[in-house]
Amino acid sequence: MKKLIALALFAFGCATVVPTVAADRRFPLSSPDGTINVDIRVGEDISFAVKLDGRPVVERVDLSVALRDRVLGKSPVFKGKRSGAVDEVLRPHIPMKFSEIDRRYNYLTLDFADGYSVEFRAFDTGVAYRFVTELDGKIDILDEEFAAKFAPSSMVHIQPMSGGFRSSCEEPYEHLRLGDWSPLDKMSTLPLLVESDGAWVLISESGLLDYAGMQLKGDGNGGVRSIFAHYPLETRPYVRRSDRRLDIVRSADYIVRTDGTRLFPWRYFAVSRDLGGIALNTLTTQLAPESAVEDLSWVRPGQVVWEWWNGAVVYGPDVDFVSGQNTATYKYYIDFAAEHGIPYLLLDEGWAADTRNPFEASSRVDIPELVKYGKERGVGLFLWLSWLTVEENFDLFRTFADWGVKGVKIDFMDRSDQWMVNFYERVASAAAANRLLVAFHGAYKPSGLEGKYPNVLAYEGVRGMEFMDRCLPSNSIWLPFMRNAVGPMDYTPGAMVSMQPEVYASKRPNAASIGTRAYQMALYTLFETGFQMLADNPSIYKREAECTDFISRVPVTWDETRVLAADAGRCVAVAKRKGTTWFVAAVNGDNRTDWRKLELTFDFLDKDATYDVTSVADGINAPQQAMDYRIVRDRASYGDKRTLRLARNGGWTARFERR
């Protein structure tokens, strides 16, 4: 995934001759620009605090790992330290925010007796740490302590897990005073966002391999603590949906059984003075492992036409066949995709005769014919599968590659215990070996696997448009600062039927979304993914030709990203560049008034150029009739200002093409 250009790399270290019991030793560590300072303390335990511009933003973090015979990090015996700095450039194979990432950090590794170390990194955008062990054989990890303390008056923004450890991570966000988040309340999945004393802190993890995913709970006093699912030992089929779920009936007393010599997952805090800095952070990518796939020439992200949300019912004067999940309909989708340069078609649940058998298509669907038809037109096929079907038929990757399929969408994992985390990696590895792309649905957040296997294009883990009237702009406005801030997501935008919430009524195949047409179109630039859906019906897209032309030209990878405005829970505006073309998106999740004014300055444009601008804005009646929009064509130059009027649940988006 990453090609590195080392601009500077140096290290220096020292170690005590005789190990000593640490007695309140303190180790300072600062970010390269000096704005973030970490005070690491080693005494009876290991902890650290984080300051931004000299002000505390994380008051204390306690860390330890409990094994069967000892607890790493408790009564530590200090042996020595190693420190240094790294300054290099990452070039991600699939760039979500930047095609080049300046990876600059200072590091400090503390070595302890009992065969373990703790490595810290201080970036200009945050702080990360991980345990490193060099122990013999296998080890059982009974628990891991991650306990972070903030001011109790801090606000915390969480995604609660309503089903305990079983969660598709699709719940809406909740926003509460951190001191009011009780240990008896629901746990939260990662990422988690804290607003503390004028600073913002995003907590997540990267390098999650052969381990259990971390969740967090409040302690009721301004702190958050880690909690992990224990390793499942015995399962049984879930009676109502045995094709996609197993119930865990017995678990081990450990969370992880793993190699004694290993790198643990990174725990990180993205830190920023403003909310925009959180949206721009790239720490998941910077902390991810290197690519295990040498040849990435076949890994091509792109837009996708999709038939599930719109019911696969096409219609109009050019349709002379009975539509549905059948070969004729899918050829119609392929023709539409080819016309607009869209590289993929996803066949969702229903393409197979039986969801438990991935080798036999429905009698209505001719996969070889569709592969051939798509190949002739430059459109590849993705096939939907439940995770349990994949697990029971792991040789399907070779078969699908032989068929000529380009990728798979795997659904309903709904867990992040060690077994399931390892399932993700086994899928990514087997798919890569057969040159297949992967999109995970019903999935936890990106945690670095997509760095090791760049053929993983997206994870869902979001309340997306499939939730119909429960997918609200007031919730989606948080995605750039939470879920999408840690990696690619599968939200499935593209609705051409738009409604305000008080008049919402829809059902497939007449699917609709909440939010204005301009809002819906802005999501293509705002949201980041390597697998961006056009969720609506090709029949409607053909009638809405101007809108279709606009969204089908929005890239899925970017050279540069800037945040132009960020008002927590209310409004966000971003500008993104691909080559010499800029795309801008602004959305309004604030429903207190019909209209919101937002002034943008086009200071991201080249100073010596003029740009042709195509913009999509809310129409004058959009607060009542969400379908009302205007397309405007004009010109712009560096420094021009534009005052936008965003309707409630509305938006604005534009394409700036250099003349």
The whole-number pLDDT of residue 19 equals 55
Q: Kindly report, residue by residue over 417-449, the tens digit of the pLDDT.
A: 999 999 999 999 999 999 999 999 999 999 999
**pLDDT above 70 (res 18):** no
- For the beta carbon of residue 387, count every other beta carbon within 10 angstroms: 24
The whole-number pLDDT of residue 20 equals 53
Residues 507 and 400 in one domain: no
- Check which CATH number belongs to the domain holding 251 and give it: 2.70.98.10
Q: Which two tokens stand for residue 220?
A: 């009721």
- Check which CATH number belongs to the domain holding 442 and give it: 3.20.20.70
The whole-number pLDDT of residue 5 equals 35
Residues 175 and 274 in one domain: yes
Residues 276 and 333 in one domain: no
Q: Which two tokens stand for residue 177?
A: 């005073």
The Cα–Cα gap between 529 and 522 comes to: 14
Phi/psi region, residue 93 (left: phi>0; alpha: psi -120 to 50; beta: rest), is: alpha
Choose the catalytic residue: 145, 170, 450, 466.
466
Residues 138 and 216 in one domain: yes
Residues 116 and 51 in one domain: yes
CB of 19 closer than 8 Å to CB of 113: yes
Residues paired with 141 in a beta bridge = 256
How many Å separate Cα 176 from the centre of its chain? 23
Q: Which domain holds residue 631?
A: 467-479+494-526+558-659
Residues 453 and 471 in one domain: no
Going by pLDDT thresholds of 50, 70 and 90, the confidence category of residue 24 is confident
CB of 551 closer than 8 Å to CB of 321: no
Burial class (CB in 10 A: 0-12, 13-18, 19+), 614: middle
Q: Which two tokens stand for residue 635?
A: 């010109």
The closest alpha carbon to 426, from 402, 390, 385, 399, belongs to 390
> Given 244, 264, 287, which residue is the final one in a domain?
287
The answer to the question of residue 63 being in a domain is yes
Question: pTM (2 decimals)?
Answer: 0.95
- Check which CATH number belongs to the domain holding 504 and give it: 2.60.40.1180
CB of 349 closer than 8 Å to CB of 374: no
> Given 236, 258, 287, which residue is the final one in a domain?
287
Q: Kindly report, residue by residue over 94-138, the tens digit of the pLDDT.
A: 999 999 999 999 999 999 999 999 999 999 999 999 999 999 999
The whole-number pLDDT of residue 241 equals 85
**pLDDT above 50 (res 10):** no
Residues 446 and 588 in one domain: no
Catalytic (active site) residue 411: yes
The answer to the question of residue 535 being in a domain is no
- Residue-wise over 546-562: b if at least 16 C-beta within 10 A, else e? ebbebbbbbbbbbbebb
- Look up residue 289 and give its amino acid: P
Residues 240 and 333 in one domain: no
* Phi and psi torsions of 59, nearest 5°: -70, -40
**pLDDT above 70 (res 391):** yes
Q: Kindly report, residue by residue over 311-338, the tens digit of the pLDDT.
A: 999 999 999 999 999 999 999 999 999 9
Choose the catalytic residue: 411, 450, 460, 544.
411
Going by pLDDT thresholds of 50, 70 and 90, the confidence category of residue 163 is confident
Residues 199 and 345 in one domain: no
What is the percent of the chain with per-residue pLDDT over 70, rounded to a whole number? 97
Residues 413 and 509 in one domain: no
Domain count, the chain: 3
The answer to the question of residue 297 being in a domain is no
Residues 268 and 396 in one domain: no
Return the SS3 of 656: strand
Going by pLDDT thresholds of 50, 70 and 90, the confidence category of residue 454 is very high
The answer to the question of residue 541 being in a domain is no
Q: Where are the alpha helices (DSSP H) in 312-417?
A: 327-339, 367-377, 387-392, 396-403
Return the SS3 of 575: strand
The answer to the question of residue 399 being in a domain is yes
Cα-Cα end-to-end distance for the chain: 33
The answer to the question of residue 485 being in a domain is no
Residues 281 and 405 in one domain: no
The closest alpha carbon to 437, from 425, 428, 446, belongs to 428
Q: Which two tokens stand for residue 133?
A: 């062990």
The answer to the question of residue 546 being in a domain is no
The whole-number pLDDT of residue 15 equals 39
Q: Kindly report, residue by residue over 471-518, the tens digit of the pLDDT.
A: 999 999 999 999 999 999 999 999 999 999 999 999 999 999 999 999
**Eight-state DSSP code of residue 180:** G
**Eight-state DSSP code of residue 503:** G
Q: Where are the alpha helices (DSSP H) in 187-241?
A: none
Q: Kindly report, residue by residue over 595-623, the tens digit of the pLDDT.
A: 999 999 999 999 999 999 999 999 999 99
Burial class (CB in 10 A: 0-12, 13-18, 19+), 639: exposed
Q: Average pLDDT of 239-254?
A: 93
- For the beta carbon of residue 236, count every other beta carbon within 10 angstroms: 11
Catalytic (active site) residue 466: yes
> Given 260, 287, 314, which residue is the final one in a domain?
287
The answer to the question of residue 552 being in a domain is no
Q: Average pLDDT of 407-419?
A: 97
The whole-number pLDDT of residue 239 equals 83
Phi/psi region, residue 75 (left: phi>0; alpha: psi -120 to 50; beta: rest), is: left
The whole-number pLDDT of residue 162 equals 87
The three-state (H, E, C) secondary structure of 302-336, written as one string: EEEEECCCCCCCCCCCCCCCCCCCCHHHHHHHHHH
